[in-house]
Every structure is written in structure tokens, then in C-alpha cells.
Structure 1
């Protein structure tokens, strides 16, 4: 099957036919691009999944930083109690 490509002479002979075919092709192309929404839905789905991943990651980092912060506070408390006990023991040793 051969595709017959119109020559410029035929295009000049039938200008309205060329115009109608060109407009029809443009309308079909525009409708195809406007109605093609599967990629948009796919993009939205991917965006939501990335957003939930980022939310989970942010939450995990906040929890981790909070745990690290709590560990530092607990370590300072332990250090202060150890210092108090050492001071008491050094006072007892000094008294004897």
C-alpha cells in the first residue's frame, strides 16, 4: 500500500481541501493532547507517594532528633547525679 503524497500543483488546485484536512489534523492533535489525562493522573499519584515518603522521612527524623535530644538530657542528668555522688563521697573521705 502506497501513501500518495499530494504535489504542490494538486494543493494549488484544491486549496479548500488542503485547508480542511490541515484544520482537521490540528483539531485531532489538540483534542488528543487535551483529553490525554492518564499521564496527569499518574503524575499526581507519583507526587502523592513522594509526598507521603517525605512526610514519613521528616517524621522519622524528628523522632530521631527528639530521641537524641532526650538522650542528651538523660546523660546530663546522669552526669549531674554522678557528680553529686562523687562530691558526697569526696566530702565523706575528707571528713575522715
Structure 2
């Protein structure tokens, strides 16, 4: 009878230990699940940021293209500037010294 009680106590103790281990694992799993949700939220936010930046870059490229076109049109519409002979800078190379 005493041996039966000892085995019963050992079995109950083992069951309690198993229950505590399962609770620890449940807590750890909940923590990991929450961390996974947090990571997913961060990833979603980063994706949204990247998408917004891509849109901004696209708009900036459009603006740059428009400005380049306007500048080209302005350059094309202005008459060529001709300098008066007295305003021209003439380049005359120096005579090389001979020994």
C-alpha cells in the first residue's frame, strides 16, 4: 500500500511538472505569436513606406521631366546670341620659347 502511495505521488508530481511545462510553452508560444504579429505590422508599415516613396519618386521624375522640357523649349525659342566682334575673346597661344 505504501509503495502504491509513493508511485501515486510520483505520478501526480510528474503530471504537475508536465502541466507547468505546457504552461511555459503556451506562454512562450503566445509571446512568439505576438512577436510575429508585431513583426508583420512592422513589415506592412515598411511596405507602405516603400510604396509611398516610390510614388513620390515617380512624381519627382515627372516634375524633372517637365522642367527639362520647359528649359529645352525656352532654349529652342530664344534667338541665338551673337556677339559683337569687340566682345569676342580671342585666344592667341603664346609663342614657344626656343633655346
TM range (shorter): 0.5 to 0.7
> TM-score, normalising length from structure 2?
0.65
- Which of the pair has more CA radius of gyration? 2
Task: Report the CA distance between 1:43 and its aligned residue.
Answer: 1.4
Gaps of 5+ in 2: 75-99
> TM-score, normalising length from structure 1?
0.67
Gaps of 5+ in 1: 1-22
1:46 aligns with 24
Task: Report the CA distance between 1:34 and its aligned residue.
Answer: 1.8
Q: Which contiguous aligned blocks of 4+ residues in structure 1 show a shift greater than 4 angstroms? A: none
The separation in 1 between residues aligned to 2:36 and 2:72, in whole angstroms, is 53
The aligned length equals: 73
Alignment RMSD: 1.7
Higher relative contact order (CA 8 A, sep 6+): 1
2:48 aligns with 70
